[in-house]
Amino acid sequence: MRIAIAGFQHETNTFAPTPTEYNDFVMADSWPGLITDQAVITATQGMNLPITGAIETAHAHNTPQHQITLIPLLWCAAEPGGYVSDDAFDRISAKICDGIAATSGCDGVYLDLHGAMVTSSHFDGEGELLRRIRASIGPDIPIAISLDLHANITQQMVDLADLITVYRTYPHLDMAATGARAMAGLLRLLSGENIYAAFRQIPFLIALPAQYTGHDPCRSIYNHIGHISDNAHEFAEFAMGFSAADIPDCGASVLAYASTPEQAAAMASDISEMVIAREADFDPMLIDPYPAVIQAMASPHQKPVILADVQDNPGAGGSGDTTGLLKALCAADAEHVVFGVICDPDFARAAHDTGTGNNMTHALGGRSGVADDTPFEASFTVEALHDGIFTYTGAMYGGGHAETGRSCLVSVTGARDIRLVVSSYRTQCLDQCFFTSFGIDLSAARIIALKSTIHYRADFEHLASQIIHVAAPGLFECRLNRLPYRHLRGGVRIG
Ligand SMILES: [Zn+2]
């Protein structure tokens, strides 16, 4: 059996002003840059990536009697951001389609996709990619895809892919496991198994701060889905959707697969009813910056309080440079604060020019045109400089590294120990390495402020006595009734 494999991941924030271009996919960030051919296998080895799990599963099923040959084509991802340009989408899609065509008859296809890609011309990027692949290979060759938990799944994707799997954890600790599940399903399809899909869209949007799978209602729902999926021949998936996408299919959805259409439909209906019954429990629990800081300062506990700057998460298309939470920390005269990762290449360059131990006066952040956000003007002491290659140590990306460009640690002059990690490229602060690489003892902080929505929980939650979701200005608005949606399908509730 010859199986073509490829990956093309993007989570598109249609409210972010900067389009995502081809070079954004070429560049390495927390994941590899654009890789092709055998590098798809070698450069992703050992990582918590869907394609890695898919490759390992194919290798584990490869026997002399049932030989499996993988044909690696391409893998790429870009940091979440604005619409994917037609140029980027057309070029990368063409490489995948041409690669599949050049196999002159593969038996199956596995794709590592996100599920929330929006291009300048297509609301449903993944559906359009699948349409182009089907136009090339016809309807019969099985295609299995794995998607992010934040996928906005469409009927087109369900119709064009024979099988879809979705991460079941947020933070995404099971990316490789989800790819493995898709490959295992593809192998069953190739052995002649028949499955039928049922698809239900949930009639309300779920804000990302309410999607943490460690708490209810998400924990119960995913426990249920995991339980009914113990039998590989019948399984279900639940994607909670990516709310910063102004498209008709924005939102959560349920998929069920079974050996009869009736069984699949019954499973999908049961799960969607279970989700709908919990609508009121999906609460993002947002607090404005100043009261959030006051609440953190009043904590009676020894352990630090985490202030999550959930609306300026680069991992959801945020600029990583808004200053609302930083200003609130200074205004409240908070002490023993560490805050990361703020993206400001001009500031990082100035810090490198200034040198360790020296002082500088410089504007920081606030330059991305976010409403109600302005630069933070202050004097700083440059505490330490960094080349921006950070090696992840947490469960989500452990073993990989982040490329953030020239970076630094500075302290705010006149404040009571407020230290900031500043980078040159946008990066989500989901791993302790961004602080520990500077020798910071996080347990000694009173407040840890993080530009991340939920992913930080995997590596920081155990350090904290309390976690507060802060609604400071950012490009990733989590109060969904403030977003100027124009394209949602009729009847979708936005909370
Ligand atoms: Zn995600």
Peptide bond into 484 cis (omega under 30): no
Assign 29 a pLDDT band (cuts: 50, 70, 90): confident
What is the spatial order of strands in the sheet that 35-36 belongs to?
A: 35-36, 69-77, 2-9, 108-113, 143-147, 163-166
Burial of 234 (0-12, 13-18, 19+ CB in 10 A): middle
Peptide bond into 300 cis (omega under 30): no
* 377 Cα to the center of ligand 1, angstroms: 34
Angle at 248 between CA 245 and CA 249, to 5 degrees: 75
* 454 Cα to the center of ligand 1, angstroms: 10
Question: Which of 430, 439, 446, 429 minimizes the C-alpha distance to 338?
Answer: 446
* 252 Cα to the center of ligand 1, angstroms: 13
For residue 30, pLDDT beyond 90: no
* 471 Cα to the center of ligand 1, angstroms: 20
* 399 Cα to the center of ligand 1, angstroms: 19
Assign 104 a pLDDT band (cuts: 50, 70, 90): confident
* 178 Cα to the center of ligand 1, angstroms: 13
In a 13 Å sphere around the CA of 396, the CA atoms on its Cβ side amount to 21
Q: Give pairs for 216-221: CB < 8 Å, separation 24+.
A: 216/278, 216/281, 217/275, 217/278, 217/281, 217/282, 218/170, 220/278, 221/271, 221/274, 221/275, 221/278
For residue 312, pLDDT beyond 90: yes
Question: Mean pLDDT across the chain, nearest whole number?
Answer: 97
For residue 495, pLDDT beyond 80: no
* 452 Cα to the center of ligand 1, angstroms: 12
Give pTM, 2 decimals.
0.96
Q: Who surrounds ion ligand 1 at CB < 5 A?
A: 148, 150
| pLDDT confidence of residue 42 | 97
CA distance to 16, 20, 73, 132, 320, per residue, from 313 (Å):
12, 16, 31, 32, 6
Give the mean model confidence (pLDDT) for residues 411-424.
Answer: 98
Give the mean model confidence (pLDDT) for residues 423-432.
Answer: 97
Assign 304 a pLDDT band (cuts: 50, 70, 90): very high
199-229, pLDDT tens digit by residue?
999 999 999 999 999 999 999 999 999 999 8
| pLDDT confidence of residue 233 | 83
CA distance to 26, 91, 115, 224, 346, per residue, from 22 (Å):
7, 8, 18, 40, 24
Beta strands in 261-317 (DSSP E): 286-287, 305-308
* 172 Cα to the center of ligand 1, angstroms: 7
* 183 Cα to the center of ligand 1, angstroms: 20
Give the mean model confidence (pLDDT) for residues 249-272.
Answer: 97
Rounded to a whole number of angstroms, the CA Rg of the chain reads: 23
* 194 Cα to the center of ligand 1, angstroms: 30
* 149 Cα to the center of ligand 1, angstroms: 5
Cα 97 to chain centroid distance, Å, stands at 25
| pLDDT confidence of residue 359 | 98
* 279 Cα to the center of ligand 1, angstroms: 20
428-449, pLDDT tens digit by residue?
999 999 999 999 999 999 999 9
For residue 232, pLDDT beyond 80: no
377-393, pLDDT tens digit by residue?
999 999 999 999 999 99
Question: Which of 162, 25, 3 minimizes the C-alpha distance to 93?
Answer: 25
Read off the amino acid at residue 303. K
For residue 144, pLDDT beyond 80: yes
What is the spatial order of strands in the sheet that 376-386 belongs to?
A: 286-287, 466-470, 305-308, 447-450, 335-343, 416-423, 407-412, 376-386, 359-364
| pLDDT confidence of residue 229 | 86
Q: Percent of the chain beyond pLDDT 90?
A: 96
* 432 Cα to the center of ligand 1, angstroms: 19
* 242 Cα to the center of ligand 1, angstroms: 8
* 354 Cα to the center of ligand 1, angstroms: 38
Q: Where are the domains of the chain?
A: 2-281, 286-478
| pLDDT confidence of residue 156 | 98
Asked if residue 375 lies in contact with residue 323, where contact means CB atoms within 8 angstroms, the answer is yes
* 142 Cα to the center of ligand 1, angstroms: 25
* 294 Cα to the center of ligand 1, angstroms: 31
Burial of 114 (0-12, 13-18, 19+ CB in 10 A): buried
Angle at 434 between CA 433 and CA 439, to 5 degrees: 75
* 160 Cα to the center of ligand 1, angstroms: 22
